């Protein structure tokens, strides 16, 4: 079977298998294990003789280590080793790197960077010794760059230029040209980064908290200068990642080096503060958006420029304009991302890199334009959905944006929105409504999976695909159960072990559609074999309740198996469908927010998201992903902000007390509408990415609701009270009617 | 965390004259010990000393030092006669923390200044004489009243702000006997010696908080923050106010998030007494409150925020 995906698979086989399993809102099989503490996370394996390692962070922002006073801490109780090695990681690997990131911790790139590992018999001993370790530095912090507004910026990649935007802006009947800001974000996954390393001769086993096992094996092997085949990674349960575990980070390599040195297992767990300070961040952004429209509200000019930052020699540049490329029309375009080098921890992928902050701003500016023209924000968007991809003349594979706005708006009660600000007051609160489009590129990644039909009819799925709380166990099992006519209690899914075929990993919303397609293909291969044994055409094969039938023939599957299991590996990788279609998931957000007329506090009162991301593989996990994304959207809009000391770039709010993710009370009733859709260009299971869409525009809907409520247009996220106070109308003024 | 000696007291007298750090709920002390911001050589656990009763005290109430925040906020007498106190407690922390946190421990909680909370910075409160990195640093939630070059930290709590408005007293056992301090005098300003948060002397232990007879009027605790729970106040206002014939007949106020202590200013209440409520009056009260306010840059917004929050609370308390 071909592995590349070159032509849309229009058969929609999963609509014809008739088991009622695919799409059903089934529980995650790992759920009960997790709440009962029976799903071990990386640090929770009990290995005999395991020593405990604690990383030490740099007390300077830039420079090198002059001396480490090892002997003092080696004399402390239980201390076994102080490691400050050229192989230890200075920075985490970027997602999909598949090679070692910057190594040698004796050079210091940012404040708090791991510079040493202290290993002791107990965690408490290691912690105390790590705190006591004295290090002398050659301090060059004075040459650091700490102000994100004062960097030397250069294009991250070639800007997109179409037509003449300046001329188009000058001719536009309506124009908006505004600069917005967003502050940096942390992934803040529930499970801190952790690893246990154990050597058996030249073979390393690493229990890790990781999102992409196959490239992680290469990153780890390359860092240790050993062959890939010598590394096994085990990560069956991962307590969230949101991009921060796409690549390996400091703890895995440090644990492996220490375990080799000590010839015993070593565990390294990052503290919550170290996760914040050393793994990765979403860059702060400054974004200038220019929109120019004709008298009828059609875009003539579309400009989106972003200024972002990263450490020197990091290629990753927050792809802020990613959705702007394909979402709206406008013949004259200028889109660019400019990167400046800064002395802060590594910037990398945090849930929905690009769209999370790019859509938030673009959708705010669209609202500004709609207000200027005096038309409904939905109407403005509808007038600007291009028929084909601007600049490249490609068709859209499928796009449910129109439907999401209409059906979402109807369900939300959008028609009750007041056309002007300051028209609804509820006690101390101004109340308003806002909406925004949702858009996130769709990506398929190479993936493989093995499916085994056991002689007794049970089904086993094996792939190194991870489940980071997203539902991989449930979804991959459902695809196999649906395809092979096997009830879910007879399907077992085994994940997160590099001994299994390489899945796509968890990132970029691609896990379910990519690895799901690999499972689908393995199952299809099994179906063809079974049809052959039944001597019928596979198109006619029906599998249900352990019986194979078709073309008038019928036999129990176990008889066709004749006592031997049937095993197939399915593979897929992106092909021509990726080049020939503009692929993305779409939706619309609706938000009702209150702004306190006195204090400027903002509280979201209710929210609705309507989404189309192809086939829904599991209605419960899909809905949960959308809900989680929208909760992230609330955080990004209203409270999440990395605070760096302006003098040395150290991260000051490095824990969950000071980095304010939303609490339960900040999250109002949220409704999710999943739109029926099949996208055959995206994958043979007609599914697209779902995991990140819920955050791609949410903040715009919230900001637009704030404007509709109180008439203040916030252009700096997060929208904390201080940014609204100065412009709020007199709280005692009579309410306009 | 540094190693320390641990002992358990069975009566409060054991704590009097002791040089050990006293451990009650531990919700703040243990965190700070893990960070090595606090490094006591000896810890005396006072949880079994029996100071955990709420008792009538004439017309007032005597709340034992070790009553949990949750128990105090749930107490029927507190809810009926001093609802401000219950509101303030419930505005703070999380249910889990309130279950462990005690009344005296809450009073003694330390600032959450991010420079105080880590040991690799200069902080006069943590290490006297080292300087203050917050002055030129991240200081969004720092003080605008009563601060000094030595320290711009705020007292972070809510409960004490309500207690200040309610004219509560702190009962202290010391080697020389029992003494009582008005809550308004219990916390200090950082002048000169920033490392001392309050007037407790070495060897002293808080045994109770006493509330005077209930005051009539509306009681409102208003806490402003960007997320609606588990965050310290940007600004908070505690108010007890009684109207009579359309005029303000009595008012007691205290403010949180503005200073190194629950902030009280008798001029604010005096300006309100006998007056008809109006936005202009509220502004005049805010002028008095904020006449000496000084921002540090990032926290400049607290000045208008305090003005507007005071107006919101006064409007709420005086409306028909």
Instruction: Tell me whether residues B137 and A725 touch, CB distance under 8 A.
Output: no
pLDDT above 60 for A300: yes
Residue A236 lies in a domain: no
Instruction: Tell me whether residues B226 and A638 touch, CB distance under 8 A.
Output: yes
Structural domain total, chain A: 2
Distance of CA A430 to the CA centre of its chain: 33
Question: Among residues A553, A577, A601, which one ends one of the domains?
Answer: A577
Per-residue pLDDT averaged across A397-404, rounded?
98
**A722 — contact with chain B (CB < 8 Å)?**
yes
Whole-number Å distance between alpha carbons of A68 and B186:
45
User: pLDDT by residue (tens digit) across A575-585?
Assistant: 999 999 999 99
Whole-number Å distance between alpha carbons of A668 and A705:
14
Residue A573 lies in a domain: yes
Closest CA to A453 of A382, A506, A530: A530
Cβ pair A586, A611 in contact under 8 A: yes
Q: Is A692 a catalytic residue?
A: yes
- Sequence-distant (≥ 6) Cβ neighbours of residue A33 within 8 angstroms: A39, A237
Whole-number Å distance between alpha carbons of A288 and A178:
6
- Both A479 and A421 in one domain: the answer is no
Per-residue pLDDT averaged across B92-108, rounded?
97
Helix/strand/coil for A141: helix
Look at the block and give the residue holding tokens 């200027």: A372
Average model confidence (pLDDT) across chain B: 97
Residues of B in contact with A644 (CB under 8 A): 138
Question: What CATH number is given to the structural domain containing A630?
Answer: 3.30.365.10
- Both A436 and A448 in one domain: the answer is no
Helix/strand/coil for A378: helix
- Both A477 and A569 in one domain: the answer is yes
Q: Residues of A numbered 255-314 whose beta carbons fall under 8 angstroms of chain B's beta carbons: which are they?
A: none
Question: How many CB atoms are closer than 10 A to CB A141?
Answer: 19
Cβ pair B218, B183 in contact under 8 A: no
| Class level of CATH domain B218-318 | alpha beta
Residue A589 lies in a domain: yes
Q: At A156, is the pLDDT very low, low, confident or very high (cuts 50, 70, 90)?
A: confident
Question: Among residues A577, A611, A637, which one ends one of the domains?
Answer: A577
Residue A407 lies in a domain: yes
Strands A425-426 and A429-441: antiparallel
Closest CA to B142 of B294, B304, B312, B318: B294
pLDDT above 90 for A157: no
Q: At A734, is the pLDDT very low, low, confident or very high (cuts 50, 70, 90)?
A: low
Question: How many CB atoms are closer than 10 A to CB A219?
Answer: 30
Say what the pLDDT of residue A554 is: 97
- Both A489 and A433 in one domain: the answer is no
- Both A562 and A621 in one domain: the answer is no
pLDDT above 90 for A736: no
What ipTM was assigned to the predicted interfaces of this complex?
Answer: 0.97
User: pLDDT by residue (tens digit) across A529-558?
Assistant: 999 999 999 999 999 999 999 999 999 999
Per-residue pLDDT averaged across B37-55, rounded?
97
Q: At A735, is the pLDDT very low, low, confident or very high (cuts 50, 70, 90)?
A: low
User: pLDDT by residue (tens digit) across A20-78?
Assistant: 999 999 999 999 999 999 999 999 999 999 999 999 999 999 999 999 999 999 999 99
Number of H helices, E strands in chain B: 11, 11
Percent of chain B with pLDDT over 70: 100
Instruction: Tell me whether residues A643 and B138 touch, CB distance under 8 A.
Output: yes
pLDDT above 50 for A737: no
**A604 — contact with chain B (CB < 8 Å)?**
no
- Cα distances (Å, whole numbers) of residue B210 to A529, A708, B15: 83, 48, 20
Say what the pLDDT of residue B1 is: 87
Interface test with B, best of A77, A277, A598, A714 (most B CBs within 10 A): A598
What are the structural domain ranges in chain B?
5-45, 218-318
Percent of chain A with pLDDT over 70: 99
Whole-number Å distance between alpha carbons of A60 and B120:
10
Cβ pair A226, A72 in contact under 8 A: no
Question: Among residues A530, A548, A577, which one ends one of the domains?
Answer: A577
Residue A360 lies in a domain: yes
Whole-number Å distance between alpha carbons of A17 and A685:
12
Q: At A240, is the pLDDT very low, low, confident or very high (cuts 50, 70, 90)?
A: very high
Cβ pair A348, A379 in contact under 8 A: no
Establish how many alpha carbons lie within 13 A of residue B165's alpha carbon, considering only the half-sphere containing its beta carbon.
34
Per-residue pLDDT averaged across A374-397, rounded?
97
pLDDT above 70 for A715: yes
Helix axes A472-484, A619-638, angle to 10 degrees: 150
The three-state DSSP-derived secondary structure of B59-112 is CEEEEECCCEHHHHHHCHHHHHHCHHHHHHHHCCCCHHHHHHCEHHHHHCCCCC
Please, what is the end-to-end C-alpha distance for chain B in angstroms?
55
Per-residue pLDDT averaged across A252-256, rounded?
98
Distance (Å) from the alpha carbon of B247 to chain A's nearest alpha carbon: 19
Closest CA to A478 of A497, A492, A462: A492
Residue A20 lies in a domain: yes
Whole-number Å distance between alpha carbons of A234 and A208:
6
Per-residue pLDDT averaged across B190-199, rounded?
92
Residues of A in contact with B234 (CB under 8 A): 721
Cβ pair B62, B208 in contact under 8 A: yes
**B138 — contact with chain A (CB < 8 Å)?**
yes
Q: Which domain holds residue A494?
A: 4-39+444-577
């Amino acid at each position: 079977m071909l592995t590349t995906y070159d032509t849309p698979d229009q058969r929609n086989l999963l609509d014809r298998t008739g088991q009622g399993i695919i799409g059903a809102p089934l529980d995650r099989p790992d759920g009960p294990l997790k709440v009962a503490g029976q799903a071990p996370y990386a640090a929770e394996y009990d290995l005999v003789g395991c020593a405990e390692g604690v990383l030490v962070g740099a007390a300077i922002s830039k420079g090198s280590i002059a001396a480490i006073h090892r002997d003092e801490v080696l004399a402390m109780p239980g201390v076994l080793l102080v490691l400050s090695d050229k192989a230890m990681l200075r920075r985490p690997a970027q997602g999909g790197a598949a090679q070692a990131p910057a190594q040698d911790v004796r050079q210091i790139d940012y404040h708090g960077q791991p510079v040493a590992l202290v290993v002791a018999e107990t965690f408490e001993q290691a912690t105390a010794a790590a705190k006591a370790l004295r290090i002398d530095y050659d301090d060059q912090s004075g040459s650091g760059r700490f102000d994100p507004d004062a960097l030397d910026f250069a294009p991250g990649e070639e800007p997109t230029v179409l037509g003449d935007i300046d001329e188009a802006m000058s001719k536009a009947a309506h124009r908006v040209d505004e600069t917005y800001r967003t502050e940096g974000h942390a992934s803040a996954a529930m499970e801190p980064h952790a690893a246990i390393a154990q050597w058996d001769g030249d073979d390393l086993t690493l229990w890790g908290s990781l999102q992409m096992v196959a490239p992680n094996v290469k990153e780890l092997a390359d860092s240790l200068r050993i062959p890939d085949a010598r590394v096994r990674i085990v990560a069956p349960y991962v307590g969230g990642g949101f991009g921060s575990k796409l690549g390996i980070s400091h703890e895995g390599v440090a644990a492996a080096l220490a375990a080799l040195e000590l010839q015993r297992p070593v565990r390294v767990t990052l503290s919550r503060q170290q996760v914040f300070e050393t793994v990765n961040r979403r860059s702060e952004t400054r974004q200038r958006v220019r929109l120019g429209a004709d008298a009828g509200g059609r875009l003539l000019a579309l400009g989106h420029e972003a200024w972002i930052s990263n450490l020197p020699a990091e290629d990753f540049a927050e792809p802020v304009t990613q959705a702007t490329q394909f979402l709206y029309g406008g013949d004259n375009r200028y889109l660019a991302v400019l990167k400046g080098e800064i002395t802060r921890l590594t910037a990398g992928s945090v849930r929905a890199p690009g769209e999370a902050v790019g859509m938030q701003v673009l959708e705010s500016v669209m609202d500004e334009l709609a207000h200027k023209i005096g038309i409904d924000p939905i109407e403005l968007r509808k007038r600007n959905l291009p028929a084909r991809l601007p600049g490249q003349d490609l068709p859209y594979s499928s796009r449910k944006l129109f439907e999401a706005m209409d059906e979402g708006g109807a369900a939300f009660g959008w028609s009750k929105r007041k056309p002007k600000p300051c028209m609804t007051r509820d006690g101390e609160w101004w109340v308003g409504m806002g909406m925004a489009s949702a858009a996130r590129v769709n990506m398929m990644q190479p993936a493989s999976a093995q499916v085994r039909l056991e002689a007794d009819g049970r089904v086993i799925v094996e792939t190194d695909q991870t489940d980071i709380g997203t539902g991989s166990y449930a979804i991959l099992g459902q695809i196999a159960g649906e395809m092979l006519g096997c009830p879910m209690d007879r399907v077992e899914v085994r994940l997160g072990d590099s001994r299994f075929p390489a899945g796509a990993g968890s990132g970029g919303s691609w896990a379910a559609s990519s690895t799901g397609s690999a499972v689908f293909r393995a199952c299809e291969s099994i179906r063809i074999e079974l049809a052959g044994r039944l001597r019928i055409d596979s198109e006619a094969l029906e599998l249900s309740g352990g019986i194979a039938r078709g073309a008038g023939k019928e036999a129990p599957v176990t008889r066709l198996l004749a006592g031997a299991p049937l095993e197939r590996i399915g593979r897929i990788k992106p092909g021509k469908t990726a080049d020939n279609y503009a692929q993305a998931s779409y939706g619309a957000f609706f938000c009702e927010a209150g702004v306190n007329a006195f204090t400027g506090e903002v509280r979201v009162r209710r929210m609705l998201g309507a989404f189309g991301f192809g086939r829904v593989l599991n209605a419960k996990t899909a809905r949960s992903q959308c809900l989680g994304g929208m909760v992230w959207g609330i955080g990004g809009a209203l409270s999440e902000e990395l605070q760096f000391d302006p003098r040395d770039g150290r991260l000051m709010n490095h824990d969950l007390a000071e980095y304010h993710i939303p609490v339960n009370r900040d999250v109002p009733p949220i409704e999710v509408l999943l739109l029926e859709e099949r996208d055959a260009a995206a994958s043979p299971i007609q599914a697209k990415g779902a995991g990140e869409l819920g955050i791609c525009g949410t903040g715009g809907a919230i900001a637009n609701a704030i404007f509709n409520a109180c008439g203040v247009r916030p252009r700096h996220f997060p929208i904390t009270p201080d940014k609204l106070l100065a412009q709020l109308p007199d709280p005692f003024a009579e309410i306009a009617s | 965390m540094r190693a320390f000696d641990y002992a358990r007291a069975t009566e409060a007298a054991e704590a009097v004259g002791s040089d050990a750090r006293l451990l009650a709920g531990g919700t703040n002390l243990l965190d700070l010990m893990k960070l090595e911001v606090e490094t006591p050589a000896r810890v005396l656990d006072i949880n079994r000393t029996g100071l955990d009763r709420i008792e009538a005290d004439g017309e007032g109430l005597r709340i034992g030092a070790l009553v949990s925040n949750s128990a105090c906020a749930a107490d029927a007498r507190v809810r009926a006669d001093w609802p401000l106190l219950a509101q303030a407690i419930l505005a703070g922390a999380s249910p889990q923390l309130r279950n462990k946190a005690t009344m005296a421990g809450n009073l003694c909680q330390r600032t959450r200044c991010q420079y105080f909370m880590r040991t690799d910075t200069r902080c006069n409160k943590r290490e006297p004489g080292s300087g203050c990195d917050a002055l030129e640093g991240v200081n969004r939630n720092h003080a605008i009243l009563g601060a000094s070059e030595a320290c711009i930290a705020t007292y972070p709590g809510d409960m004490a702000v309500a207690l200040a408005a309610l004219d509560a007293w702190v009962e202290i056992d010391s080697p020389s006997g029992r003494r009582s301090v008005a809550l308004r005098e219990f916390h200090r300003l950082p002048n000169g010696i920033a490392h001392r948060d309050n007037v407790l002397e070495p060897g002293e232990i808080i045994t109770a908080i006493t509330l005077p007879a209930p005051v009539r009027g509306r009681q409102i605790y208003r806490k402003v923050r960007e997320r609606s729970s588990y965050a310290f106040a940007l600004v908070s206002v505690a108010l007890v106010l009684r109207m009579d014939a359309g005029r303000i007949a009595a008012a007691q106020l205290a403010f949180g998030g503005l200073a190194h202590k629950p902030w009280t200013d008798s001029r604010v209440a005096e300006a309100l007494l006998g007056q008809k409520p109006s936005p202009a009056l509220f502004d005049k009260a805010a002028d008095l409150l904020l006449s000496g306010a000084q921002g540090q840059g990032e926290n400049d917004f607290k000045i208008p925020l305090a003005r507007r929050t005071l107006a919101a609370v006064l409007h709420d308390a005086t409306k028909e």
